[in-house]
Structure 1
C-alpha cells in the first residue's frame, strides 16, 4: 500500500489494515467480528470510516464492555488498549464466545497484565495471534495528530504539589515515539527541543533515546537478514518497503505550550477555528465534530452531519482555513455553481416539455449523490452564517480588535498604541456585561500574558510589554474585579499565572547561561553593563525580527487587511525558520547521540522463570519502553549493537556540532512539530500556510487539540484540584450505531453450520515471511504447552503465556 509522504491518516490506516485486519485470514469464514474498547475506538474512528470496514470482512463492531451474543462460528479481532480495565474484561471472556481470538493492543502490554491473561487458559488455547501495534495516537487530519491526552498534560506538568509530571512526560514520549515510527519507520530521526523549557528538554531526551534504540534494532535486523540473504534487493532494502515512501530525512521539534499562551486564547476568525469556538458541536460520533442543522425537507426536524470530512468534502478543504466572510462568499459561489451543473438539480427549473429522456436518466442516476452534496453545502452555509450571527450578537469584533491591539502593541496602521488608550479600551470591554464572561476572560488573561513580557517561541513580543507606563496603569486599573466574574475564571487566571511563572523561570535560566555576569562577579558595575547589553540586544532583536517578518512574508499576507486578523502564532515563524534551516541552534538545540550502553541497559534484560529454565527458550521482557523493541538481548545481540554503533560513529562522527552544521534539503525531508500541552487551530492553519509557501512536508501534533473553552478549563485545573479531577476524566465514549443489516449478517454467519476447521495463526503475505520468523498453524489442545504468536512492531517472536502443563 503506497502511503503519501507525511500523511498521518494514511500511515495509520496502513498500520491498522495491513498490520491487523488483513493479517487475520480464515479459509472457512468470510466475515470477522471486531471488538474494541472506548479508547481504541477513538483511534480506529479517527483513521478509518467504521462503515467501510465491511469491505475488509468486518461484519460488525462490538464494544468490549457491553454484553454480546456468543458467535462460536466466527473469528474475532480484539483491538483494545493495554489498560488494567480492558485486559481484565478480556480475561473474563468465555472460550465459546467466538471461533478464535486475535488480540491486538494499541501499545505495549505490561508483564503484570500478561499475567492477568494467563488466568483464562481455555480462552488462550483459542488465541491465534497477539500483536502490539504501537498506535496510541489519533490522526485528526492528514497532517495533524494528537496523543489523545484529554487535557491531562498541563495540569500534571504545572500544578503545584503533583508528582505525576515525570509520569506524564514518559507517556508523552512513548506515544510520540510511536507516531514518529509510524510516519517514517525507516528514517534516522533528528530531535530538537526548546531550550527555555525543562519539559521540552526532558521529553526530547526520552524520545531521542527511544528512536535511537529503534534505529539500532532496525540495523540489527537488517544485518541478520542480509547475512541470511532473505528478501533483500540489490539496494539493500526490504521487499516490503513502500513505493510511496519518499522520506529520506526526518526532524522532530518539541516545544512547550507554556512558551506561547496567547495563541489558544485569542479569537481566531478562520472558519475551522471559529466553528470550534462558537458553535455547539457534537464530538461523540465517529469521524470528528458533527453539527445539527435544520432539515430542508421537513422544517420540524433536524439532521446531524459531519462537519470535518477531509477525505470526502471538497468544499470543506477549500474554505476551512479561509477568513469567515471570504469562506461564506466562496461557499455561496460554489453552491450556486453546483446547482447549475448538477444533473439532478439542473432539471428542477425546467418545464416538463423541456426535459428529455436523456436528462431525466442522468438526473435519476445522480440523485443519491446529489442530495448528499446538497446537504454538505447547506451544512457549511448554515455553520458559516451561525458563526457570523453569533459574532455580531456577542459583539466579538470589538473584543477581537482590542485583543489584536494588545497582543501586537500597535494599531492596524502600524503606529504605537498609547498605554492610556489600550488600558481604557480593555477596561471598557471587561466591564461590558453584554459580552459573555468566558470571552471577556480571555482578554483578561491575554493582558496578563503581555504584562509578563515573555519573548515566546518566535522571539517577538508586544510593543506594550516593555512599557513601564502600561504596566503601572494596568496594575492600578483594578479591572480584575469584574462584577459577574465566575469562580472558574478566577481559577483560570490563577492557573495562567502559575504557568507563566514556570515559563519565566525557564527563560531566565536560559538567558543566564547565554549572558552570564561580566567577569563572573555580581558587582553593581557588572549588573549595569549587563543591563545596557540586554537593552542593546533588544534593539538588535527588533531588527532581526523585522528581517524575519520580511523573509516569512508576513507583510504580504492578505489577512493583514482585516483588523481582527493581524496576529500570527509564533509557531508559524518557528516552522518557517525550521524549514529554511534558519532556526536558532542555541534556542532550539539538537539532542545529542545516546550512549549505546545505556540503550542496551534500558531496553530489557533476559529473565527465565522456574518453569522456563528446563526449556531455555522463553524470554521475559522487563524494558521501560514500548513494544517496538526487542523482548530480550543476548550477549551476541548486545555486541552487534555496539559494533553497528561503532561503524556509524566512524562514518559520520556524530556530535552536537555535526548536527548543527548539517543542512537538510527540503525535498524528502519530513518536519514534525510537537507541542506539549496541546496545539490550537490557528497553529494548524499556519502549518498549512507554511506547507503551501515552502512546499514543505510538515506535520504538527500535540498532547490534545486545544479549543478556547478547553484551554480555559485546563488553566483552571492547574490551580484548582477539584477542577483538575473533572478535567482529567477520559472523554465521553463515541456513539457507535450498528445497522440492522450488519447485525442480521452477523447472526446468519454465526448460525451457519459448517464442519470444524482449525484456523491458522494470522500470518503476513508469503513474500513478507522471513525464515527467522516462526509460524505454527497447529494450535490444538493436545499440545503440552500453549503458545501464541507475538508480533512486536512487525518483528515476530515466541512468548509462552503460561508454563508447561503439569503431568
Structure 2
C-alpha cells in the first residue's frame, strides 16, 4: 500500500492513461482548470509524456483539430465541461478520432443522458468515473482547495447553503475513500453531545454516501488484510489557537512570513559576482518531493534548518577544492572557519556558476532562510511570539502557570509598537480573547486602542463568535472547559510530556496532535467524539508495540534514517527548560547526511504504509474548515512517534494571514471580491511565475531584503538560535 499521493499517481497513469492504447500509439490529453490541478499534484509532466502523450491541452481554450489522434478527456462532471466536450464533435466536425472520457467525480444522470443522445456518443470509446476529486497535497495529506467553505459552514446569513456545501464535501470525501479502498468506522467532534455541529452533519452525510456507494458497487470495499480504518471528522472550532500562533518550523514559518506566487517561491538569483542589478534573474521554485533538502528539513525548527544548510554548505566547500579555489578567485573567503552568514553563502553561490547542481540545491533555501530572518526581526516577532506562547500554553517558559494580568502588561509593548504589523497585533488580540474565554467589553476597546487597529480589523475579532469563540466574560467558562474535556487549550498542552531540547517560542502543540495520539491509543473520549457505529474492541486494539526503530538498524541505516542529525534532538518541539541554546551535533558527525544524495535517500527510508497498517487500523482525520501547516507537521510527528498510518485531509490549507482575512469578512452574506481574488491566486497551481519579487511581507509592503544575516557564535552576535530565546523586550535582537 502506498501513500495517498502515490495512489493518485497510479490512478492517473495506470488506470487512466495506460488504459488507453490507440492503434496509432500517440494520444492527446484534454483537461479543465480543476482536473489539471489534480494532474499536476499527482504527476510530473515528464511522467505523462512518457506514456505516448503528445499534448496536454486546455478544454476551455481554442485548440487545433487532430482528426487522426485519439484523445483522453480528463474533465469535471459539470454542465460547462460536458458542453465543451460535446462541442468538439458536433455537426460532423470531429476534433479527434475518438474520445476516452474520464470524469473526476460521479457523473449526474442528466449529463449522462445528454452525452448519450449527442452526436459525440458515436466517438466515445470510454466513459468512466475516476473518483479522484481531491488534491493529493503531500504523501499523507489531501485537500479540496475550498477556501471559501467557511462562509456557508459558519455564517448564519449563508445558512441556506450549508446543507449543499456539506453534501459536496461529503461526496469528495467519498472520492478519497474510494481511492484508498476504505470503508471506515466514523466518529466526529461534538463537545456538547449534540448532532447539530457541522462536524456531526458531515459525518452522518459521509456515512449515507458510503452506504450508497456500497449498494451501487458490490465490490466496494475491496478485500483487505488490515483492520478497518477509522475516520475522525473535526471542524475548525476544535482549535482556533493553532491558526493564529506564529510557528517557527521551516515550512510553517515560510508560508506565514513570505509571499508565494501561485504556490511557488519566487526569488532573485545572480548570474555571477557582478553587482549589476540587471544580471539578476527571477527564479521560481516548487518545494516538493523532488527537493531532497526540503523533504529533510521542512518540519525542523527554523534554527535547526539554518544550521543544517550552513554546515552542509561549509562541508561542500571544505571537500571541494575546485569550489574553494573559484570562490577565492572571485574575492571570497574560503578559510577553514567556513561561511557564517546567509548573505555570504548567497554571494558565494554567485561566484560558483560552474557548480550548477549545488547552486540549484542550496540557493532557494538560503534565500528562504535569509528572508525569514529579516521578517522575524523587522516585525519584532521575538516579542510577539513570547506573549503568544504564554497565552496559548497558559504557562511561562519555566513551566509556571501564568497570571493573565501580567500577560496583558507584556502585550502592551507589542500592541503599541509601530514595527509590529496590524495583522500580528490582531492575531495577538484574538489569542488573548480565545484563551481567556472572552474579555470585558471595556477591556477589548482599550486593547484595540493600544493596537490602533481599523474597524475592519476589529470585525475579525467580532466574527470569532461564528466559529464558537466566546467574546465576553461568562460564568459558563468552567462548563465550556468540561465540554471540551482534555482538549481544552491549556489542559491539553500541560498533559504533553516534555522532553529533549527545543525552543521557548515553540512550546505550543496543536490540539489535533492530541486527538490523533488519543485515537491511536484508544483513549479518545467518546462523549466528545461519538461514533456513528461503534466498532467492536478487537477492531481497535493495537498489537504489542514494535521494537525501537534503531534496535534492528545497521549503522548505515541509522545514518540514513529520516531524523535530525543529532539523535538526541527529538521531533517534539517542547521543553521545560528556560534555556534552549544547546547546540546540535556538527555536520561532520556520523549521523549527519554527508551529501545531498544521502539526504535524498533519507526521504526514501520511511516505513511503507502497508507496514504501518500492520500496527493497527489506519486513521483518517478530516478537518472541516481548514488546516494549518503546524497541524500538518504534527501529523507527521505522530506517524513517526507511534508508527501508525495516518492520513489527514481538509477543505483548505491556510496560512495565518489568509485565515485572518477571511475572518474579517466572515460576517458578510458573501465573501468580498478581494477575498475571492486573493484566495484564487493562492490556490492557482498553474499560474506563471510573476516577474515581481519586490513585495516581501504581505502586511506592510516590505521589500525583500539582502541584509546580512549572521550565524556567528562569537558572543557579539546572538545568532540564529538566539532569535528564539523568548525574552520579552521592545526591540528585536
Which TM-score band applies after superposition, normalised by the shorter structure?
A: 0.7 to 0.9
**Aligned counterpart in structure 2 of residue 110 of structure 1, from 108, 111, 118:** 108
Partner of 1:448: 433
Q: Deviations over 1:474-523 (max 9, x none)?
A: 8266112357423442332222122225999xxx9xx9xxxxxxxxxxxx
Q: 2:280 is matched with which residue? A: 301
Q: Does 1:199 align with 2:198?
A: yes
Q: 2:230: which partner in 1? A: 251
Aligned residue for 1:56, secondary structure, equals coil
TM-score computed with the length of structure 2 as normaliser: 0.72
Q: Alignment partner of 1:40: what SS? A: helix
How large is the Cα RMSD of the aligned pairs? 3.5
Separation of aligned partners in 2, 1:158 and 1:725: 19
Instruction: Report deviation, 1:336.
Output: 3.1
Conservation of the 8 A alpha-carbon contact between 2:635 and 2:648: yes
Shift of 1:416: 2.7
User: CA–CA distance in 1 between the matches of 2:25 and 2:110?
Assistant: 35
Q: Structure 2 matches for 1:88-167, cutoff 5 A?
A: 88-94=83-89, 95-118=93-116, 120-121=118-119, 123-149=120-146, 151-162=147-158, 163-167=160-164
Q: Kindly state the Cα deviation for residue 702 of structure 1 after the two structures are TM-superposed.
A: 0.6
Q: 1:584 to 1:539 in 2, by over 3 A?
A: closer
1:208 paired residue number:
207
| Alpha-carbon shift at residue 291 of structure 1 (Å) | 2.6
Q: Which of 651, 654, 669 is the matching residue for 2:617?
A: 669
1:423–1:474 contact (8 Å) kept in structure 2: no
Aligned pair partner of 1:571 in 502, 512, 533: 512
CA contact 1:274–1:387 (8 Å) conserved in 2: yes
Structure 1 residues 102 and 570 mapped into 2: Cα distance closer, same or farther (>3 Å)? same
Secondary structure class of the residue paired with 2:252? helix
In 2 relative to 1, CA 255–314 (structure 1 residues): closer, same or farther, beyond 3 Å? same
Q: Distance in 2 between matches of 1:676 and 1:539?
A: 18
Distance in 1 (alpha carbons) for counterparts of 2:400 and 2:525: 29
For the pair 1:180 / 2:177, whether they are aligned, the reply is: yes
State the match for 1:61 in structure 2: 56
Compute the displacement of 1:91 (Å): 2.1
Secondary structure at the residue paired with 2:66? coil
Equivalent in 536, 547, 553 of residue 658 of structure 1? 536
Once the 2 structures are TM-superposed, how far is the Cα of residue 713 of structure 1 from its aligned partner?
Answer: 2.1
Give the whole-Å Cα distance in 2 for the aligned partners of 1:316 and 1:369: 23
1:219-618 matches, cutoff 5 A: 220-221=218-219, 247-283=226-262, 288-297=263-272, 300-310=279-289, 312-339=290-317, 371-452=356-437, 471=439, 475=443, 478-481=446-449, 484-500=452-468, 553=497, 555-559=498-502, 562-592=503-533
Q: CA deviation at 1:373?
A: 4.2
Q: Shift in Å at residue 293 of structure 1?
A: 3.0
Could you tell me how far 1:694 is from its partner in structure 2?
Answer: 0.9
Structure ID, larger Rg:
1
TM-score scaled by length of structure 1? 0.66
Work out the CA distance in 1 between the residues paired with 2:470 and 2:493: 28
Between the aligned partners of 1:247 and 1:710, the Cα distance in structure 2 is 39
RCO comparison, higher one (Cα < 8 Å, 6+): 1
**Alpha-carbon displacement from aligned partner over 1:721-767 (angstroms, at most 9, x marks no partner):** 453555456724544789xxxxxxxxxxxxxxxxxxxxxxxxxxxxx
- Give the 3 Å change call, closer, same or farther, for CA 369–112 of structure 1 in structure 2: farther
Q: For residues 662-701 of structure 1, what are the structure 2 equivalents within 5 Å?
A: 662-665=540-543, 667-701=615-649
Q: For residues 663 and 557 of structure 1, what CA distance do their matches in structure 2 show? A: 30
* Residue equivalent to 2:45: 50
1:429 deviates by 1.6
Q: How many residues align?
A: 580
Question: How far apart, in 2, do the equivalents of 1:414 and 1:377 lie?
Answer: 38
C-alpha distance in 2 between matches for 1:166 and 1:660: 35
